[in-house]
Every structure is written in C-alpha cells, then in structure tokens.
C-alpha cells in the first residue's frame, strides 16, 4: 500500500472530488488502474452513516438497504 497515494485520494475525496474524477487524474498523471484500484474498493454491504440513525453504520445483505 502506498501511503502517499492513499493520502492524495483521501484529500481529493475530502474536497468532494468523485471517485471517477480522481481515477482520471491519476491516469492523466501516468498511474495505471491496477496501481490504484485497491484504494477504491469498499464492501458492497456497507452503507455510509446517516444522521437519521444517529450517525451509526447500517449493514444489509442487499443493495437496497436504507437507513433505519
């Protein structure tokens, strides 16, 4: 794992850059997809925390999960 690359991706996400735009910036800088794809993998059953449920994580086995 490349910590500098991880930091760059995190900084871009923090300013609101979407994943595809970050990937394109990396490609434009000479990075190959296989060099950075692992930094964009997230579990498909994990949902972002939501204010409606006190900011706690919710999990579901299906992709239609909603916050409770």
Total-model pTM: 0.60
Q: Say if 58 falls within a structural domain.
A: no
pLDDT at 46: 53
pLDDT at 1: 72
**If you average pLDDT over residues 25-39, what whole number do you get?**
94
Among residues 57, 41, 60, the alpha carbon closest in space to that of 49 is found at 57
Question: In DSSP terms, which residues pair with 46 in a beta bridge?
Answer: 59
17/20 Cα distance (integer angstroms): 8
Q: Say if 9 falls within a structural domain.
A: yes
Number of domains in the chain: 1
Residue 62 has pLDDT above 70, yes or no: no
Q: Say if 64 falls within a structural domain.
A: no
26/23 Cα distance (integer angstroms): 5
Using 50, 70 and 90 to split pLDDT, how confident is the model at 56?
low
- Residue 31: which domain range? 3-42
**If you average pLDDT over residues 8-35, what whole number do you get?**
95
Q: Say if 53 falls within a structural domain.
A: no
Using 50, 70 and 90 to split pLDDT, how confident is the model at 16?
very high
């Amino acid at each position: 794992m490349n910590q500098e690359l991880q930091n760059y991706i995190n900084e871009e996400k923090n300013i609101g850059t979407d994943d595809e735009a970050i990937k394109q910036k990396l490609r434009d800088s000479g990075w190959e997809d296989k060099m950075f794809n692992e930094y964009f993998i997230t579990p498909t059953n994990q949902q972002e925390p939501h204010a409606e449920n006190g900011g706690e994580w919710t999990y579901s086995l299906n992709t239609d999960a909603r916050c409770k």
